[in-house]
């Protein structure tokens, strides 16, 4: 992992990392996504199956995940993991219940009535990444706010593996969130299906959930006709630490971000030369047995940074 000591070099590295993905000027990605959006809009499920076979290596027939599969995923989840998912669900619900905006009405002296009224959308689409990383937390943190807000229907899309199988824990999370409509499709084609609707997948009012550059570009291009949460590109973590920090824990936190995507960025800024060296050593030691070693290596080697900063005078 790159260790930089000079302030100017640190700033240059941060700028390089900031510009690692450019949605505006990536003509190849824009062109590819535009074609996928057009094909799905015109051909519906036929295009979904074509692109799923091309990109994910299997023919999604059926496209949907059965209720039996969803229930089985929950029932075969270990008890400790079930309890962890239920506990996370409860905590997330409690937080978002506090976020619900209040409607109000004001009656004027001349009989006029001015009001602000908050209403949930009818149908929301949830994109859950698969392949490199499938996280049940994505389901919980996107579906629960919608449920708390009163959204009547959630449609979830997520890519399956080459055997057409979806991550069991992701399905278990969907089960406790009450999501019944789940489809084995990902990428820009899944965003297109949610935005335009197909024979099997209903059109939604808003789409949330993270994804790769093709997913993010698709969300950018359909915004306006369909609502989106944000254009969340490859994510990053920035940790600021002094000489009292635990180097092993810092390394773990940095790798927890690097494992998401080869374009994810893990950054540590510290005033301690020894912490910088120790963290780097811990990172490579932990990578020896890390289940996502290849992705982490690409992330930290290309977009990782440990900056040693001078203490403020």
pLDDT per position in the chain (313 positions), as tens?
Answer: 889 998 999 999 999 998 887 656 678 889 999 999 999 999 999 999 999 999 999 999 899 999 999 999 999 999 999 999 999 999 999 999 999 999 999 999 999 999 999 999 999 999 998 865 678 999 999 999 999 999 999 999 999 988 889 999 999 999 999 999 999 999 999 999 999 999 999 999 999 998 888 999 999 999 999 999 988 767 889 999 999 999 999 999 999 999 888 889 999 999 999 999 999 999 999 999 998 899 999 999 999 999 999 876 5
Same structural domain for residues 183 and 203?
Answer: yes
Same structural domain for residues 77 and 152?
Answer: yes
What's the whole-model pTM score? 0.83
pLDDT digits (tens, 9 = 90+) for 161-203: 888 899 999 999 999 999 999 999 999 999 999 999 999 999 9
In a domain, 112, yes or no: no
Same structural domain for residues 293 and 192?
Answer: no
> What ranges in the chain are assigned the alpha helix state H?
7-18, 27-43, 45-56, 67-75, 79-97, 136-149, 168-176, 187-196, 213-222, 247-258, 273-287, 293-303
Same structural domain for residues 168 and 303?
Answer: no
As for how many domains the chain has, the answer is: 2
The answer to whether the CB of 122 falls within 8 A of the CB of 157 is no
Percent of the chain with pLDDT over 90: 82
- Which of residues 185, 206, 233 is at a domain's end? 233
Write out the residue range of the structural domain in which residue 59 sits. Answer: 23-97+120-233
In a domain, 192, yes or no: yes
């Amino acid at each position: 992992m790159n260790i930089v000591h000079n302030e100017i070099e640190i700033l240059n590295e941060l700028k390089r990392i900031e510009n690692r993905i450019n949605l505006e000027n990536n003509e190849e990605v824009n062109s590819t996504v535009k074609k996928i959006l057009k094909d799905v809009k015109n051909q519906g499920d036929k295009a979904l199956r074509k692109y799923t076979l091309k990109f994910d290596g299997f023919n999604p027939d059926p496209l949907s995940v059965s209720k039996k599969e969803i229930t089985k995923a929950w029932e075969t989840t270990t008890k400790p993991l079930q309890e962890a998912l239920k506990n996370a669900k409860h905590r997330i619900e409690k937080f978002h219940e506090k976020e619900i905006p209040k409607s109000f009405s004001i009656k004027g002296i001349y009989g006029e009535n001015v009001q602000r009224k908050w209403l949930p959308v009818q149908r929301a689409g949830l994109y859950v990444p698969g392949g490199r990383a499938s996280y049940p937390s994505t389901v919980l943190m996107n579906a629960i706010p919608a449920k708390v807000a009163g959204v009547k229907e959630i449609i979830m899309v997520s890519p399956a593996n080459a055997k057409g199988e979806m991550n069991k824990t992701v399905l278990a999370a969907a089960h406790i969130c009450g999501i019944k409509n789940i489809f084995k499709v990902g990428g820009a084609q899944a965003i297109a299906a949610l935005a335009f609707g197909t024979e099997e997948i209903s059109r939604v009012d808003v789409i949330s959930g993270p994804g790769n550059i093709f997913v993010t570009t698709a969300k950018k291009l359909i915004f306006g006709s369909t609502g989106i949460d944000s254009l969340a590109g490859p994510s990053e973590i920035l940790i600021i630490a002094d000489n009292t920090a635990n180097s092993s824990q810092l390394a773990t936190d940095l790798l927890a971000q690097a494992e998401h995507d080869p374009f994810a960025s893990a950054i540590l800024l510290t005033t301690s030369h020894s912490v910088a060296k120790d963290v780097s050593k811990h990172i490579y030691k932990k990578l020896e047995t890390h289940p996502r070693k290849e992705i982490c290596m690409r992330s930290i080697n290309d977009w990782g940074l440990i900056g040693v900063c001078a203490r403020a005078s």
